[in-house]
Amino acid sequence: MTRREACERPASHEAESMRIDGAFSRGRAIEIVVDGEALPAYAGESVAAALVAAGQRAFRRTAVRDEPRGLYCGIGLCFDCLMTIDGRPNVRACRTAVRAGMRVTSQRGVGTWVRNEAARSVAKLVEVFTNGCPACEGWVAYGRELAGSASRSELRVWDGRDEREGAERQRRIARYGIAELPAIVVDGQLLPCCLPTSA
């Protein structure tokens, strides 16, 4: 995947063109590395902010349809901004603060979660834990996308609306170490983007 295919970012000489000038102060000027190229950023802003300021609209490509996705909700709910950050796949760029030298990679599909074609053929259980509210729909959609990337997989949504499942839902929340809902678990492992982030 070339840089242009991956991120649809303009040439580096245009990188500052979308920053707002005005009478406000920014954090310390730093650089992060995006798809192998240095990108200017300011301490205190998110990865997504730095990318959008550079004109980058697509942060990843979807697993099933290979469609571009980028900043959408901006508040950590939709999962459209997932990237690989410092080697960790499926990190929300809108919820991650920049750090000097941080390495950010545009993500194709589910990143390194599924490492090769052999892994794709292994049955996979994707569990989405929500509170059953409309704001969680983005998480269910992403869980469906993860499940759809494997040839044999199961999507299970634990949204708390079925009281008969309440005890089992609570057992699983405790077993997986889920501290905050919504959350996604793949084959018994809490997705990295559901772990606490630095923003």
The binding site for ligand FES (CB under 6 A) comprises: 71-74, 76-81, 92, 94
Written as six digits, the tokens of 20 are 């707002």
Q: How far is the CB of 78 from ligand FES (least distance, A)?
A: 3
Q: How far is the CB of 73 from ligand FES (least distance, A)?
A: 4
The nearer residue to ligand FES, 59 or 158, going by C-beta atoms, is 59
SS (H, E, C) the chain: CCHHHHHCCCCHHHCCCCCCCCCCCCCCEEEEEECCEEEEEECCCEHHHHHHHCCCCCCEECCCCCCEECCCCCCCCCCCCEEEECCEEEEEHHHCECCCCCEEECEECCHHHCCCHHHHCCCEEEEEECCCCHHHHHHHHHHHHHHHCCCCEEEEEECCCCHHHHHHHHHHHHHHCCCCCCEEEECCEECHHHCCCCC
The nearer residue to ligand FES, 18 or 122, going by C-beta atoms, is 18
The nearer residue to ligand FES, 40 or 74, going by C-beta atoms, is 74
Q: How far is the CB of 76 from ligand FES (least distance, A)?
A: 5
Q: How far is the CB of 82 from ligand FES (least distance, A)?
A: 8
Q: Count other C-beta atoms under 10 Å from residue 64's C-beta.
A: 11
Q: How far is the CB of 83 from ligand FES (least distance, A)?
A: 10
The nearer residue to ligand FES, 49 or 147, going by C-beta atoms, is 49
The nearer residue to ligand FES, 42 or 72, going by C-beta atoms, is 72
